[in-house]
Structure formats: C-alpha cells, structure tokens
Amino acid sequence: MATVKIPPVLRPSVGGEKEVQAAGEDVGAVLHSLAEQHPDTQSQLFSGEGQLNRYVNVYLNDEDVRVLDGLQTSVSESDTLVILPAMAGG
C-alpha cells in the first residue's frame, strides 16, 4: 500500500493522522480508496462529478501528478502521495 501524507485541513477527516496507508494501482485508485476508508475526505478531494478538485494538488513523491499522468499515474507500494491544498495563513 502506498503512503498518503495528509495536510492539516484534512487530518480531522482521517482521525487526526498525518499519514495513512491506502491501496491502489494508480493515483485515482489510491485516493478513492482513501475516500472509502475516510468518507469525510470524499467531498474535499472530489467534485460531485468525481473529478479531483482543482484546488487540491497531488504529488507522487516530489512530482505534481498534473505533469505525470494525472489520476492515471501508476503508484507502487513504496511511493508516497502528498495531498496539498493551498494555505493562506500568515
């Protein structure tokens, strides 16, 4: 299972964890698996049409999946996904 790093705003939806494990062949599958385990993340990650929300950045290791194959980017067991929404606090 891949490791998914959870940003501060999503941590209440995953029981306060900073990292969770989720299974899936590609980025989309891993995120859907996360949303199944932690239903509160569903609406924060995905739009009503099932698309990844535009304000959520997802990185496979250190690379933005937008420059890879998006939700179809393959994920292996040793990979880390970073979910990153913008923060504005100063």
SS3 for 18? coil
Q: Please identify which residue in 1, 15, 18, 47 interacts with other proteins, judged by CB under 8 A.
A: 18
Residue 2 binds other proteins, judged by CB under 8 A:
no
Residue with Cβ nearer other proteins (25 or 63): 63
SS3 for 5? strand
What is the C-alpha to C-alpha distance for residues 89 and 8, in angstroms, rounded to an integer? 12
Q: Please identify which residue in 37, 56, 70, 79 interacts with other proteins, judged by CB under 8 A.
A: 56
Residues 6+ positions from 30 with CB-CB distance below 8 Å: 2, 4, 22, 23, 24, 75, 81
CB 59 within 8 A of CB 52: no
Residue with Cβ nearer other proteins (77 or 87): 87
Q: Please identify which residue in 16, 49, 55, 78 interacts with other proteins, judged by CB under 8 A.
A: 55
List residues binding other proteins (CB under 8 A). 5, 7-9, 18, 44, 53-57, 59, 62-64, 66-67, 82, 84-90
